[in-house]
Each structure stands twice: as structure tokens, then as C-alpha cells.
Amino acid sequence: MIRTLLKTYRPRPWWERVPPLELLVAVILSQRTNWRNARRALERLKERFGAVDRLAEASVEEIEDAIRPAGLYRSRASVLREVACAFGGSRIEDLLSLPYEEAKRRLMSVRGIGPKTADVFLMLARGEPVLPVDTHIRRVLVRLGFASGREGYEELRASLESEVPPEDRLRAHLALVAFGREVCRPVSPRCDICPFSAWCPSSIKPKRKTR
């Protein structure tokens, strides 16, 4: 299944030239938000404050106003401010030089950053060979019968990683997310164009026309 998706979805590596703190802010803004709105919010932040490090000196209300297009702006504004305080300047580079478990633990010490956000950031920022499981990937795995839906985040991540070689995990994550957004959508999945519909236990078969 992953091999099929890897052939279909070939993401452009937009994150490679983004400074690490800005990348972390982008990852936080893109959680449960489409990428276009997250990007708009990030651009507005940069227009208003210059560098994202400056969020440490901004008020939560100012940040809220700038990131409004991304939604969930009330809770996110305080997380972003905390992120800028904790990892501004060279501290983000220090964080990136730490071993995986320690870097993840430090990221998660900021209220509002969970294991998935920490994993996505480490995967994009330094190619950490993890395969973060977001809400789209979880839904796809459950519908295809590879997960029950009761697994915790770390259990599901480890299980998926055991099936995907380290060098393919980043692309597999992005391909699974794209597939979940475009085909195996939360509502009205496109089973009619899905390459797995022949064996997927959740496939919705087209209704027969009645005379």
C-alpha cells in the first residue's frame, strides 16, 4: 500500500530552506488546519513581527490577531509565544543537536506540543527517521483494517515504522496524509477512485441503478 502511494504522491520539499524555528511555528499552525490557511497565518506573523523569534516579546493578543486565518488562534497564540521563549535564537539549533528522545522530550515540555507535533518537526527539520501518525493516517489505517483505532499514538507509530524502511518514512508520512486528505477523506471518501477499494473492508461500493 505504501509503495503504491509513494508512486502517486511526490511532495516538493518546501521545508528544506525554512529556518528551524519558523518551521516549528509552521508545523504548529498546520495542525488540524489546511496548509493554505497555515501559510497565510505564518506570512502574517512574519509581516507583523519580522522574525518569529520576536514572538517572545509580543502579547498573546497580538499573536492571536496575526494567526486568525489558521483557526484555533486562541490556544495556538500562547503555544507560539512559549515556543519563541523556549527555542528562540540559537536554542533551536541546540535542540536539534540532541538525541531523538531528549529533543522530543524538550519539545513536549512546551504546553501544547504533543508527540506528533514533535515528531513531525524533527522529521522535517533534520530528517529524523520517524513516521508520525496524524488524524488522517490513523483514519486511513483504521478503514483499511490495519489498526483498530484504540491504539495510542506511540504504539501506532512503532507499528507503522516497523513496516516502512527509515529512508522512506518521511515520504510515506506525506503520501499518507495527502491520500487521507484527497481520497480517503473524513466525509465522503473517494472509494470510486481509490487504488485499494477492491480489498478495503470499508470501501463504499457504488449503488446499482434501479429501473
- Binding region for ligand SF4 (CB under 6 A): 143-144, 183-184, 189-191, 194, 196-197, 200, 202-203
Task: Specify the residue, 1 or 24, whose C-beta has the smaller distance to ligand SF4.
Answer: 1
Q: How far is the CB of 117 from ligand SF4 (least distance, A)?
A: 25
Q: CB 182: neighbour CB atoms within 10 A?
A: 13
* Residue number with CB closer to ligand SF4 (32 or 185): 185
Q: Closest CB to ligand SF4 among 87 and 179? A: 179
The CB-of-163 to ligand SF4 minimum distance in angstroms stands at 16
How near is the Cβ of 194 to ligand SF4 at its closest, in Å? Answer: 3
When the beta carbons of 13 and 149 are compared against ligand SF4, the nearer one is 149
Contact 195, 184 (CB under 8 A): no
Q: Tell me the closest approach of the beta carbon of residue 160 to ligand SF4, in angstroms.
A: 15
CB atoms within 10 A of CB 93: 12
State the Cα torsion 73-79-85-86 to the nearest 10°. Answer: -150
CB of 72 to ligand SF4, least distance (A): 26
Residue type, 151: E
Cβ atoms of 145 and 201 within 8 Å: the answer is: yes
- Closer Cβ to ligand SF4, 78 or 202, answer by number: 202
Separation CA 26–CA 43 (nearest Å) = 10
CA pair distance 110, 138, nearest whole angstrom: 24
